[in-house]
């Protein structure tokens, strides 16, 4: 069976939702374009063993919308999109599957640019790139975006610390990093180097052992995160970790992490604010990776990447100042900033 693309019913406010299938290559993927108002849609591809196609659609649509906001806030001249491949990356992924995915991306004729995300590596993306011009984050080009994501989160975390604690000095601050993938581990290294009292958790015990040995981190079981006393919580695993229940138990004053869609529902932002917890919206602080990818899309230099990375921290500072002056939640302020950008005529990045 050759590759087939089927347009599915798109949610209101979205531009396109495509099902890509290639039985011979083992590919079942969804590609979602939320908005191309500011440029072609860009966002990574993740591979995950979703329990159902409906669960995959729920995830890809949330992620695509988040990419619209992330790319707009970072000033990248890109719209928002995302792709998910249904399957277990450790067991099911093959070069043939990634090449088939590349053909699906190419069939969208430049309306969507892809890169790696959870379960997908630069090497996997190189296979996709044999079939499409619109796969980025490649070795020898912009490369793995994870270090850029971690650096952006770290800079924003220090801006948040200045607002919450009066200084960006992290020495002695109790920082819990949840999730020790490429981004989480890199962030943990930066936090430890800044003198923080690092705590870590992950479902991978070997990753926790490494962080404890190499970084001097204290470890806690994944189901004990919200029983810990901490100053800063950095969620860097999958989304939805902040629910009404966990927000009520969280013992931190600042939340700043790399995970996408950290709030299980929008009303959790108000619960955090009511408890005096400052939340830095994930799509603002975790844009470092897409900034790196955008430099490859647009053909810009490292200097451009660094300029945009510094701008993220500036946006966070503006957002916090407006939230403090108006009493609005940080999520509402950030969303308002993006909506103003989306209403402006498209400008080149």
CATH of the domain at 28: 3.40.50.10860
> Residue 106, CB half-sphere, CA atoms under 13 Å: how many?
13
Domain that holds residue 85: 4-68+79-129
Residue range 96-125: average pLDDT?
A: 95
Can you tell me the mean pLDDT for 215-230?
96
Of 216, 219, 187, the residue nearest 201 (C-alpha): 219
CB under 8 Å to 345, separation ≥6 — which residues?
none
Dist CA 304 CA 313 (whole Å): 15
CA 216 vs CA 151, 210, 228, 296: distances in Å: 20, 9, 17, 36
Helix (H, G, I), strand (E, B) or coil at 268: helix
Count of the separate structural domains present in the chain: 2
Res 242 pLDDT > 60: yes
CB 219 within 8 A of CB 202: no
Contact 288, 145 (CB under 8 A): yes
- Residue 289: the pLDDT is 87
Token pair for 23 = 């039985």
What number is the average pLDDT over the span 130-152?
Answer: 86
Q: Given pLDDT bands bounded at 50, 70 and 90, which one contains residue 305?
A: confident
For residues 127-149, average pLDDT: 86
Percent of the chain exceeding pLDDT 70 equals 97
Q: Is 127 annotated as a binding residue?
A: no
What percent of the chain clears pLDDT 90, i.e. is strictly above it?
82
Which carries the bigger pLDDT value, residue 349 or residue 50?
Answer: 50
178 assigned to some structural domain: yes
Same domain, 96 and 63: yes
- pLDDT recorded at residue 346: 56
Clarify whether residues 125 and 151 are in a common domain. no
Question: Contact at 8 Å (CB) between 168 and 162?
Answer: yes
**In the structure, what pLDDT confidence band is assigned to residue 261 with cuts at 50, 70 and 90?**
confident
Mean pLDDT across the stretch 83-108? 97
Can you give the pLDDT at residue 117?
87
Is there a binding annotation on residue 172?
Answer: no
Was 298 annotated as part of a binding site?
no
Does some domain include residue 138?
no
pLDDT at 347: 55
Provide the pLDDT confidence category of residue 265 given band limits of 50, 70 and 90: very high
Mean pLDDT to the nearest integer, 261-273: 94
Question: Are the beta carbons of 304 and 150 closer than 8 angstroms?
Answer: no
More confident residue, 121 or 217: 217
Q: Which residue's entry shows tokens 């490494």?
A: 210
Cα separation values, 299 from 16, 53, 123, 126, 296, Å:
27, 36, 21, 18, 5
Q: What is the CATH number of the domain that holds 234?
A: 3.40.50.720
23 assigned to some structural domain:
yes
Residue 302 resides in a domain:
no
Total number of residues shown for the chain: 349
Token reading at 102? 């590349």
C-alpha 272/C-alpha 280 separation (Å) is 11
Residues with a catalytic annotation lie at 82
The residues pairing with 30 across neighbouring beta strands, listed in sequence order, are 19, 84
Q: Looking at residues 299-311, what average pLDDT do you find?
A: 87
Task: Determine if residue 179 is labeled as part of a ligand binding site.
Answer: yes
User: Quick one: pLDDT at residue 260?
Assistant: 87
Mean pLDDT, the chain, integer: 93
Same domain, 335 and 232: yes
Residue 287: closest CA among 44, 104, 95, 7: 44
């Amino acid at each position: 069976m050759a590759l087939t693309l089927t347009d599915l019913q798109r949610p209101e406010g979205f531009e396109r939702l495509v099902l890509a299938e290639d039985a011979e290559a083992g590919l079942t993927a969804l590609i979602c374009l939320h908005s191309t108002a500011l440029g072609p849609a860009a966002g990574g591809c993740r591979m995950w063993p979703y329990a159902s196609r409906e669960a995959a659609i729920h995830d890809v649509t949330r992620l695509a919308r988040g990419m619209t906001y992330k790319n707009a806030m970072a000033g990248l001249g890109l719209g928002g999109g995302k792709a998910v491949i249904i399957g277990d990356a450790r067991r099911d992924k093959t070069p043939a599957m990634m090449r088939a995915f590349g053909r699906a991306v190419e069939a969208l004729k430049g309306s969507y640019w892809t890169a790696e995300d959870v379960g997908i590596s630069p090497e996997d993306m190189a296979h996709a790139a044999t079939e499409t011009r619109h796969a980025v984050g490649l070795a020898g080009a912009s490369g793995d975006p994870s270090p850029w994501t971690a650096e952006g989160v770290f800079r924003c975390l220090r801006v948040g610390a200045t607002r919450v604690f009066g200084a960006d000095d992290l020495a002695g601050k109790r920082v819990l990093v949840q999730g020790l993938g490429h981004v989480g581990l890199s962030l943990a290294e930066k936090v430890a180097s800044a003198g923080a009292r690092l705590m870590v958790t992950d479902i991978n015990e070997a990753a926790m052992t490494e962080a404890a040995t190499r970084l001097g981190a204290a470890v806690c079981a994944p189901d004990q995160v919200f029983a810990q006393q901490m100053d800063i919580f950095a969620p860097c695993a999958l989304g939805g970790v902040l629910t009404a229940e966990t927000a009520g138990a969280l013992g931190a004053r600042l939340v700043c992490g790399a995970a996408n869609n950290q709030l299980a529902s929008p009303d959790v932002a108000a619960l955090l604010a009511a408890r005096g917890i400052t939340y830095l919206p994930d799509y603002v602080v975790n844009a470092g990776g897409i900034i790196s990818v955008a430099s490859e899309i647009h053909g810009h230099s490292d200097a451009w990447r660094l300029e945009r990375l510094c701008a993220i921290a500036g946006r966070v500072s503006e957002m916090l100042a407006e939230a403090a002056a108006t009493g609005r939640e940080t999520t509402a302020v950030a969303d308002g900033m993006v909506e103003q950008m989306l209403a402006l005529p498209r400008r080149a990045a």
